[in-house]
């Protein structure tokens, strides 16, 4: 943990990442008690119950889809990709904040990442799960789709085409999901040992003992653990940047006006981080109050996330501007038509202006330090960004597709109730998993919080701090 160059009390000094006055014991007690207590907050049951209802809606939507086929959705020709791919890109983007926080901020030694990294890694896992559902179900009959999604020796001796970005996407998303799972579960091991040692319940003691793999906090183990964790962070950093790059290739490699743009990879990655941080705050703001962890997820975290959103939001807006510029500069009549259709006279032009309201105008409130530190304002801005990032993918996908090169293949796209049930169903799946996670597993890495305390810094010369 580095010291601020400013003395405490100075208005330039950063807010603390952990409220003062904590000891090793108080951190351990607080964070284990959230899981080991028998008292669950009532609001937890209410939120989980509502989310679970939506999850049940998702199972109905998928069951009906598998029975009837994708004709139950609004997709048509030319809009062959619609809610399925919009939701996929939206969710996978949300998943990016977890690895950014746990890997890239670790490499940059940003100690404020510590109290939100576990939480956002879990968010990543669940968001990737929701995302991965869509490519699977949008095939209509997923059991027939396996041979062109995954390379495996099949009876037809067919192999996927590795020259296509769609198969790159399969590799990128499955790798990202797997590595995120490894990262998250490796971080959980020492905390499972803390639970094993804390609980009095013999069954839980055995369970956490198994989950901790017999972790005993040996210095040799810690040395290898830290090395492995650092290397994981190092390899996850290019991975997280590659995933949304590859997702953007799905579009950029095609020849469709509105998709065929070189700005797509950086613009998608920035959008992913933007959406991810908005979702981190959307979840962290209520959960820190629900479980009383305001000492660990402080105003510093909220403010820093808000700053990251402000910066990445402006990168995204730069992406919008450069799309406009290159569309105009291409001097191509189809590009010109696409732009005018998207922003001016097209039937979906209102979604573009709504998108600019959500992703460009409203987040500018975060320039103000006072508003950045006003929790309801930050929460509302996050909600706008969540919606805005979904709209961005709607604009990219639907408005680019619905006006094909020749007017004879123009068609409007209208989502059906099954489209909406699937979208809200995945939000239910995500929320259910997230709330189960915060109740059943440590949402804040206990051992990393210990390392944030000043007394964790050892002074071999004999000037020890007391615990």
Partner 1 sequence: MAHDPEATTLYGYLAEFDTPGQLLKAANRVREAGYTKTDAYSPFPIHGMEDALGFRERAVAPIVLAGGLTGLMVGYGLEYWTMVIAYPMNVGGRPYHAWVNFIPPAFETTILFSAFAAVFGMFALNGLPRPHHPVFGAKRFALASSEKFFLAIEATDPKFDAKTTRELLAGLSSREVVELED
Residues 8-47 that bind partner 1 (CB under 8 A): 23-25, 28
For the CB of residue 187, give the shortest distance to partner 1 in the complex, in Å.
11
Q: Does 213 bind partner 1 (CB under 8 A)?
A: yes
Running DSSP on this structure, what letter comes out for residue 6?
A: S
Q: Does 447 bind partner 1 (CB under 8 A)?
A: yes
**Residue 252: HSE in the Cβ half-sphere, 13 Å Cα cutoff:** 16
Task: Give the pair of three-digit tokens for residue 192.
Answer: 């499972």
Could you tell me the end-to-end alpha-carbon distance of the chain, in angstroms, rounded to an integer?
17
Q: How far apart are CA 311 and CA 101, in angstroms?
A: 15
- Label each residue of 431-449 as H, E or C: HHHHHHHHHHCCCCCHHHH
Q: Concatenated DSSP letters for 41-83?
A: -HHHHHHHHHHHHHHHHHHHHHHHHHHH-GGGSS--SS--SSH
Complex with partner 1: residue 203 or 345, whichever CB lies closer = 203
Q: Which stretch binds partner 1 (CB under 8 A): 13-21, 55-63, 92-100, 169-177?
A: 169-177
Q: What is the largest CA-CA distance in the chain?
A: 83
Among 160, 322, 337, 375, binds partner 1 (CB under 8 A): 160
By CB under 8 A, the residues from 95 to 114 that bind partner 1 are none
By CB under 8 A, the residues from 409 to 428 that bind partner 1 are none
The interface mask with partner 1, positions 365-404, x = CB under 8 A, is ----------------------------------------
Task: Give the pair of three-digit tokens for residue 389.
Answer: 């990032």
Among 214, 376, 406, 414, binds partner 1 (CB under 8 A): 214
Determine contact, residues 18/452, Cβ cutoff 8 Å: yes
Q: Which stretch binds partner 1 (CB under 8 A): 172-180, 332-340, 347-355, 422-430?
A: 172-180
By CB under 8 A, the residues from 215 to 244 that bind partner 1 are 215-228, 231-232, 235-236, 238-239, 242
Nearest CA among 63, 83, 95, 64 for reference residue 430 = 95
For the CB of residue 155, give the shortest distance to partner 1 in the complex, in Å.
14
Task: Give the pair of three-digit tokens for residue 290.
Answer: 């629900």
**Residue 76: HSE in the Cβ half-sphere, 13 Å Cα cutoff:** 12
Complex with partner 1: residue 117 or 431, whichever CB lies closer = 117
Among 148, 171, 337, 360, binds partner 1 (CB under 8 A): 171
Complex with partner 1: residue 139 or 175, whichever CB lies closer = 175
Among 18, 131, 132, 172, binds partner 1 (CB under 8 A): 172
Complex with partner 1: residue 131 or 283, whichever CB lies closer = 131
For the CB of residue 179, give the shortest distance to partner 1 in the complex, in Å.
4
- Count of positions on this chain that bind partner 1 (CB under 8 A): 74
- Label each residue of 223-284 as H, E or C: HHHHHHHHHHHHHHHHHHHHHHHHHHHHHHCCCCCCCCCCCHHHHHHHHHHHHHHHHHHHHH
Complex with partner 1: residue 131 or 194, whichever CB lies closer = 194
By CB under 8 A, the residues from 245 to 284 that bind partner 1 are 246, 249
Among 5, 39, 408, 466, binds partner 1 (CB under 8 A): 466
For the CB of residue 97, give the shortest distance to partner 1 in the complex, in Å.
19
Q: How far is CA 258 from CA 59, 255, 392, 411, in A?
A: 34, 9, 12, 17
For the CB of residue 46, give the shortest distance to partner 1 in the complex, in Å.
32
Among 151, 314, 340, 353, binds partner 1 (CB under 8 A): 151
Among 18, 125, 194, 398, binds partner 1 (CB under 8 A): 194
Determine contact, residues 124/239, Cβ cutoff 8 Å: no
Q: How far apart are CA 26 and CA 162, in angstroms?
A: 53
Complex with partner 1: residue 154 or 368, whichever CB lies closer = 154
Determine contact, residues 449/293, Cβ cutoff 8 Å: no
For the CB of residue 126, give the shortest distance to partner 1 in the complex, in Å.
19
């Amino acid at each position: 943990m580095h010291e601020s160059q400013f003395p405490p009390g100075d208005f330039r000094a950063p807010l603390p990442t952990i409220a003062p006055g904590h000891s090793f014991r108080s951190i351990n007690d607080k964070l284990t008690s959230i899981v080991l207590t028998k008292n669950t907050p009532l609001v937890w049951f209410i939120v989980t119950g509502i989310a679970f209802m939506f999850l049940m809606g998702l199972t109905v939507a998928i069951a009906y889809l598998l029975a009837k086929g994708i004709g139950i959705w609004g997709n048509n020709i030319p809009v062959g990709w619609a809610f399925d791919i919009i939701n996929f890109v939206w969710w996978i983007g949300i998943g990016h904040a977890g690895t950014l926080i746990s890997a890239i901020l670790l490499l940059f030694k940003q100690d404020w990442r510590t109290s939100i990294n576990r939480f956002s890694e879990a968010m990543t896992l669940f968001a990737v799960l929701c995302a991965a559902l869509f490519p699977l179900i949008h095939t209509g009959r997923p059991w027939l789709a396996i041979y062109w999604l995954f390379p495996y020796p099949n009876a037809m001796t067919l192999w996927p085409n590795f020259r296509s970005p769609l198969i790159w996407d399969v590799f990128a998303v499955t790798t990202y999901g797997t590595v995120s799972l490894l990262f998250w579960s490796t971080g959980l091991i020492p905390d499972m040992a803390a639970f094993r040692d804390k609980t009095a319940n013999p069954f839980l003691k055995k369970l956490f003992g198994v989950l901790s793999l017999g972790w005993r906090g040996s210095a040799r183990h810690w040395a290898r653990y830290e090395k492995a964790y650092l290397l994981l962070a190092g390899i996850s950093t290019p991975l997280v940047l590659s995933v949304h790059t590859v997702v953007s290739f799905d579009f950029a490699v095609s020849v469709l006006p509105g998709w065929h743009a070189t700005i797509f990879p950086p613009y998608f990655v920035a959008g992913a981080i933007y959406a991810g941080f908005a979702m981190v705050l959307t979840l962290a703001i209520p959960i820190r109050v629900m479980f009383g962890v305001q000492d660990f997820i402080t105003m510093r975290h909220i403010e820093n996330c808000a700053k990251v959103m402000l910066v990445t939001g402006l990168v995204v807006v730069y992406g919008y501007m450069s799309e406009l510029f290159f569309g105009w500069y291409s001097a191509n009549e189809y590009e010109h038509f696409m732009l005018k259709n998207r922003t001016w006279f097209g039937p979906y032009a209102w979604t573009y202006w709504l998108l600019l309201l959500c992703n460009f105008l409203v987040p500018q409130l975060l320039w103000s330090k006072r508003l950045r530190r006003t929790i309801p304002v930050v929460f509302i801005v996050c909600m706008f960004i969540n919606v805005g990032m979904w709209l961005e993918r709607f604009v990219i996908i639907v408005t680019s597709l619905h006006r094909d090169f020749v007017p004879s293949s123009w068609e409007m796209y209208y989502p059906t109730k099954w489209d909406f049930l699937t979208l809200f169903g995945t939000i239910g799946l995500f929320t259910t998993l997230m709330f189960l996670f915060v109740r059943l597993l440590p949402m804040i890495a206990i051992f990393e919080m210990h390392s944030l305390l000043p007394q964790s810094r050892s002074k071999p010369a004999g000037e020890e701090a007391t615990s």
